[in-house]
């Protein structure tokens, strides 16, 4: 990137903090967790109820009356469920806790005349009411499919906890029931029926009420999630996409990841002036942006401020994946967040590329061998392909995908051949000698998105598994050789995570720590393409551009990493394919819509 990064002038810069939990919500959440655990223990373990902790457990919310075990268990589970929402300052969790605590206190006073129980409930309720403004976070994106996930998770948890409840009363159990009998007793108890296990004395009633309470909680929470209003994840609208295309037309050459902001499963916030924007997706409570902000660098701070305001409003954890050094400087300066080098992007300058020389011998030999086998390549813009050929390429790319879900977020567009993406570049490999397959003579596909007026960025690589090895190398070389006639001066290839650690760790003189770190990365490469992507990119002698992750706190990094793996498609927590709701057809963004946006701007 050329040029400095402008700062704000004429007024004091306001440092924005990430939505890290305040002291009060954190303390309240911990108190709810502690109370919930004590209530669950009081409801499950008979020895706990007769220990010295019994005096405390009896006056906790929910532990009152003849149904003490079941009510204590119910209150404990509910408080445990609410604790996470309170920690994230969710308004609805606050409302539920404010209703639960007075109800528990009133019941204790009415049934047991327990003043201490009322005091404990009030002690937890007081900070909730006093600091109610702290609990203002809006709901996360959700759909009614969460109800099924809740039913599965709560059902499994209730089954495990139910087995504990059934088994802790061993001394009062009649006979020696098998594990199958105990599981049957739990399953019957969860739906309110008596099972095959019997106990001496009133223990049967205690177990029955406890299992019934677990079944009731599973049913009620599932019904609530099924019938509450949906808050679907935000999507890029036609107007948003048109405005982003205008910004990319003016400033798209700044960042090779800019065009990926047009993924339609992202949301966007614009700066007050409309001259800059940040696109993002929310995954598991993490607000993930990718790449640099789009648009005029002078307006970046305004877009970043809107991004942080949105994160605070929902109590999402803000993070940026794969921003450039310039972008990292602006993000950290404007927000007070930290940055960590994540890896390097491989960029090949077309003018400097050549197959000659010792360094390119392996690539040169592979390309010549494949060409002698009868393969030919074609490199064209999307707008130059007919609809029939485009459809064949789409179907082939879908069929050759190696996973059930599409991978990619920060460097993937998620579509091929959309009418609005006419400037995208597509390289295809063909072999006419082979018997025609379902996609004719097509054997491999590479898709590139625009990077300003004179560059492209690699989007996806797909090939027929029956084709000869080296298809990707062949097509990258073909794209580089065809670039001059297409007006392309630079090509961005794959992103190599931890590239510098891999490169330095294999050099002579590397220390034991660096070698151990490289060894761990090589080990992880068995499941994630860490070393292989680095070595593949290095074949083309690129220049390496560092990329960074921006985060609020080091304790957020595991959560951000997991959310990024979900967004990239490496971890899939979606429902099985047979249970998923059919996704709506992709919304085409026509040239007319894009032109309307340009004229409006």
| Residue 32: strand, helix, or coil | helix
Two structure tokens written together for 308: 């942080």
Helix ranges, 53-202 (H):
54-58, 68-87, 91-112, 115-130, 145-167, 179-190
- Same domain? 130 vs 209: no
Distance of alpha carbon 419 from alpha carbon 88, whole angstroms: 42
Mean pLDDT throughout 437-463?
A: 90
| Predicted confidence (pLDDT) per residue in 568-591, tens digit | 766 655 444 444 444 444 454 443
- Same domain? 245 vs 127: no
Distance of alpha carbon 59 from alpha carbon 117, whole angstroms: 4
Q: pLDDT higher for 256 or 153?
A: 256
Helix ranges, 315-433 (H):
325-335, 361-372, 387-399
Two structure tokens written together for 175: 């006979």
Mean pLDDT throughout 284-292?
A: 88
pLDDT at 599: 30
| Predicted confidence (pLDDT) per residue in 330-345, tens digit | 999 999 899 998 889 9
Distance of alpha carbon 322 from alpha carbon 546, whole angstroms: 9
Distance of alpha carbon 406 from alpha carbon 408, whole angstroms: 7
| Predicted confidence (pLDDT) per residue in 334-386, tens digit | 998 999 988 899 999 999 999 998 889 999 999 999 999 889 999 999 999 98
Residue 2 placed within a domain: no
Q: Which of 194, 227, 260 is the last residue of a domain?
A: 227
Distance of alpha carbon 465 from alpha carbon 176, whole angstroms: 57
- Same domain? 485 vs 361: yes
Least confident of 192-196, 229-233, 511-515, 520-524: 229-233
Least confident of 18-32, 246-260, 461-475: 18-32
pLDDT at 438: 81
Mean pLDDT throughout 377-398?
A: 91
Q: Which of 176, 201, 227 is the last residue of a domain?
A: 227
DSSP bridge partners of 544: 346
Q: Which of 493, 508, 526 is the last residue of a domain?
A: 493
Residue 399 placed within a domain: yes
Confidence of residue 4 (pLDDT cuts 50, 70, 90): very low
Distance of alpha carbon 397 from alpha carbon 419, whole angstroms: 18
pLDDT at 141: 66
pLDDT at 522 over 90: no
- CA distances to 42, 51, 105, 168 from 48, in Å: 6, 5, 22, 11
Distance of alpha carbon 326 from alpha carbon 344, whole angstroms: 14
- Same domain? 486 vs 361: yes
Closest CA to 499 of 545, 563, 540: 545
Task: Answer yes or no: are the C-beta atoms of 448 and 455 closer than 8 Å.
Answer: no
Task: Answer yes or no: are the C-beta atoms of 91 and 137 closer than 8 Å.
Answer: yes
pLDDT at 166: 82
Two structure tokens written together for 107: 């019941």
- Same domain? 342 vs 332: yes
Confidence of residue 22 (pLDDT cuts 50, 70, 90): low
Q: Look-up: residue for tokens 């927000």?
A: 335
- CA distances to 86, 121, 155, 224 from 23, in Å: 11, 20, 33, 30
pLDDT at 579: 42
CATH of the domain at 479: 3.40.630.30
pLDDT at 104: 59
Q: pLDDT higher for 403 or 129?
A: 129
Confidence of residue 216 (pLDDT cuts 50, 70, 90): confident
- Same domain? 338 vs 361: no
- Enumerate residues 6+ apart whose C-beta is below 8 A from 112: 58, 64, 65
Task: Answer yes or no: are the C-beta atoms of 349 and 489 closer than 8 Å.
Answer: yes
b/e per residue 170-194 (b: at least 16 CB within 10 A): eebbeeebeeeebbebbbbbbeeee
Residue 273 placed within a domain: yes
- Same domain? 420 vs 295: no
Closest CA to 264 of 35, 111, 421, 59: 421
- Same domain? 242 vs 371: no
- Same domain? 506 vs 439: no
Confidence of residue 455 (pLDDT cuts 50, 70, 90): very high
Residue 211 placed within a domain: yes
pLDDT at 501: 77
- Same domain? 192 vs 110: no
Range of the domain at 362: 349-493
Mean pLDDT throughout 393-416?
A: 78
Distance of alpha carbon 34 from alpha carbon 76, whole angstroms: 9
- CA distances to 54, 183, 209, 262, 516 from 73, in Å: 14, 19, 10, 48, 47
Mean pLDDT throughout 270-275?
A: 93
| Predicted confidence (pLDDT) per residue in 61-77, tens digit | 544 333 556 666 776 77
pLDDT at 53 over 80: no
Q: What percent of the chain has pLDDT over 70?
A: 77
Least confident of 375-379, 389-393, 432-436: 432-436
- Same domain? 304 vs 435: no
560's enclosing H/E stretch is helix 557-568
Confidence of residue 306 (pLDDT cuts 50, 70, 90): very high
Mean pLDDT throughout 510-528?
A: 76
- Enumerate residues 6+ apart whose C-beta is below 8 A from 461: 444, 445, 446, 472, 475
Q: What percent of the chain has pLDDT over 90?
A: 28
Least confident of 108-122, 385-399, 526-540, 562-576: 108-122
Mean pLDDT throughout 557-571?
A: 81
Q: pLDDT higher for 36 or 214?
A: 214
Residue 118 placed within a domain: yes
Distance of alpha carbon 540 from alpha carbon 355, whole angstroms: 9
pLDDT at 433 over 90: no
pTM, entire model: 0.68
Confidence of residue 280 (pLDDT cuts 50, 70, 90): very high
- Same domain? 244 vs 116: no
Least confident of 208-212, 223-227, 268-272, 419-423: 223-227
Residue 583 placed within a domain: no
Confidence of residue 298 (pLDDT cuts 50, 70, 90): very high
Residue 594 placed within a domain: no
pLDDT at 181: 82
pLDDT at 444: 92
Least confident of 7-21, 57-71, 445-459: 7-21
- CA distances to 382, 416, 417 from 387, in Å: 10, 12, 9
Residue 38 placed within a domain: yes
pLDDT at 89: 76
Query: Judging by DSSP bridges, how do beta strands 286-290 and 425-431 pair with one another?
Result: unpaired
| Predicted confidence (pLDDT) per residue in 90-123, tens digit | 877 888 777 777 765 665 555 445 566 567 777 7
Domains held by the chain: number: 4
């Amino acid at each position: 990137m050329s040029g400095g990064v402008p700062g704000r002038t004429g007024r004091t810069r306001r440092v924005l903090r990430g939505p890290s939990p305040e002291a009060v919500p954190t303390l309240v959440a911990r108190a709810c967790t502690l109370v919930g655990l004590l209530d669950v223990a009081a409801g499950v373990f008979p020895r706990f109820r007769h220990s010295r902790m019994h005096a405390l457990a009896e006056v906790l919310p929910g532990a009152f009356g003849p149904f003490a075990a079941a009510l204590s268990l119910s209150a404990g589970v509910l408080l445990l469920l609410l604790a996470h929402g309170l920690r994230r300052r969710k308004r609805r969790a606050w409302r539920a806790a404010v209703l639960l605590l007075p109800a528990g206190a009133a019941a204790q006073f009415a049934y047991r005349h327990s003043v201490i129980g009322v005091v404990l409930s009030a002690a937890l309720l007081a900070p909730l009411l006093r600091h109610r403004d702290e609990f203002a976070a809006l709901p996360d994106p959700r759909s009614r499919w969460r109800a099924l996930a809740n039913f599965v998770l709560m059902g499994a948890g209730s089954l495990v906890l139910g087995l504990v409840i059934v088994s802790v009363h061993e001394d009062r159990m009649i006979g020696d029931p098998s594990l199958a009998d105990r599981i049957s007793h739990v399953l019957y108890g969860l739906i309110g029926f008596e099972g095959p296990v019997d106990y001496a004395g009133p223990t049967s009633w205690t177990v029955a009420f406890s299992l019934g309470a677990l079944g009731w909680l599973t049913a009620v929470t599932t019904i609530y999630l099924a019938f509450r209003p949906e808050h679907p994840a935000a999507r890029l609208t036609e107007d948003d996409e048109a405005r982003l295309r205008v910004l990319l037309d003016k400033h798209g050459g700044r960042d090779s990841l800019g065009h990926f902001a047009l993924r339609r499963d992202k949301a966007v916030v614009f700066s007050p002036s409309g001259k800059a924007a940040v696109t993002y997706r929310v995954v598991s409570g993490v607000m993930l942006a990718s790449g640099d902000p789009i648009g005029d660098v002078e307006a970046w701070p305004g877009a970043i401020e809107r991004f942080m305001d949105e994160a605070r409003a929902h109590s999402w954890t803000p993070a940026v994946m794969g921003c450039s050094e310039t972008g990292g400087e602006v993000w950290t300066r404007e927000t007070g967040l930290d940055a960590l080098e994540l890896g390097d992007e491989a960029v090949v300058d077309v003018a400097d590329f050549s197959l000659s020389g010792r360094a390119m011998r392996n690539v040169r030999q592979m390309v010549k061998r494949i060409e002698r086998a009868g393969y030919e390549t074609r490199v064209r813009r999307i707008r130059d392909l007919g609809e029939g050929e485009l459809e064949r390429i789409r179907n082939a790319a879908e069929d050759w995908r190696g996973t059930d879900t599409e991978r990619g977020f920060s460097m993937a567009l998620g579509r091929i051949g959309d009418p609005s993406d006419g400037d995208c570049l597509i390289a295809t490999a063909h072999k006419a000698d082979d018997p025609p397959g379902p996609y004719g003579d097509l054997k491999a596909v590479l898709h590139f998105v625009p990077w300003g007026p004179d560059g492209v960025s690699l989007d996806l690589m797909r090939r027929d598994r029956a084709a000869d090895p080296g298809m990707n190398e062949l097509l990258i070389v073909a794209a580089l050789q065809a670039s001059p006639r297409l007006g392309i001066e630079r090509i961005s290839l794959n992103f190599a995570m931890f590239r510098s650690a891999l490169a330095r760790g294999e050099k002579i003189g590397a220390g034991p720590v660096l070698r151990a770190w490289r060894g761990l990365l090589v080990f992880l490469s068995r499941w994630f393409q860490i070393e292989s992507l680095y070595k593949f990119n290095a074949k083309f002698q690129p220049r390496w551009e560092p990329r960074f992750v921006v985060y609020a706190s080091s304790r957020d990094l595991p959560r951000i990493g997991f959310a990024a793996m979900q967004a990239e498609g490496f971890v899939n927590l979606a429902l099985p394919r047979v249970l998923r709701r059919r996704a709506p057809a992709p919304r085409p963004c026509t040239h007319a819509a894009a032109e309307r946006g340009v004229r409006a701007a």
